[in-house]
A and B are shown apart, each in its own frame.
Chain A
């Protein structure tokens, strides 16, 4: 299966890049935009048939490496 991990700064932690993108969108006259967040996506194949084990493994990867939980939140999705 394929794992898709999204990492974003936590709500409450100022996202300067999101703010800059928001300003740029406004300068293009998109005045209906709010709450822009810039994050990163990490995609990889996971050779694992046990779904529970896959969730446990990827959660551990996020906690230990893929996200810095002092400032970032993450979401995990699986695509078959």
Chain B
């Protein structure tokens, strides 16, 4: 299993992501954004979190024009598996690989804390180790995590089981930290090979550090 992790100027979660996947037994490679191709032995491509290009203009807006993104789009269109975490999710929506967009949090505050999430659809490679309705505790750290999609788009997401995770309270009760439509925290594309979420599963790998719920999430990719 080989995980390739993208690095733009301003990315800051590439080493956490590498540590997380290494701890699960995967080989990893960090790929600088100037690369014009994705390594051929890549089983999973991760667009890691951070602040690519300083979030100038809009989060993820400039990164989508990096040389590597053309290769990423080709890789995804050919069925390659792609995971975008936090800023990576923003980059993938800007690049049109995932539906919707991420707006400024409704409170206008940067949020950095643990938050509970409910699994909505596990019929995909990412969440197959979990059950629908399971609640996981995963850190969030974002300013622009307010997921938006129009009404028709939302209907389509539900019809195709593309809603992966929703924010909730510890007991599964309704709780929406950032104003996201339907409290959506993560989605996938129609063909279920491109995934994006604002929370950071790679920061929830050790119980000692608050939660190890990220293990079950990321493991899905390894047991393909």
Contact = CB atoms under 8 A, between A and B. Distances in A.
Interface string B83-100: 000000000011000001
Interface of B: 57-58, 61, 65, 93-94, 100-101, 103-108, 146, 148-150, 179
Which secondary structure dominates where chain B touches chain A? loop
Nearest to B96: A70
Contacts of B61: 65, 68
Please list the 7 inter-chain residue pairs (A to B) with the smallest Cβ-Cβ separation, ordered nearest first.
A70-B101, A71-B101, A16-B106, A71-B148, A68-B101, A16-B108, A68-B58
Interface residues of A, number: 11
Contacts of A13: 103, 148
Which of A9, A16, A70 has the most chain B CB within a 10 Å cutoff? A70
Which secondary structure dominates where chain A touches chain B? mixed
A20 interface: yes
A65 B100 CA distance: 16
Contact of B100 (A9, A14, A66, A70): A70
Contact of A9 (B65, B93, B103): B103
Given A16-B107, A17-B104, A17-B108, A66 B179 contact: no
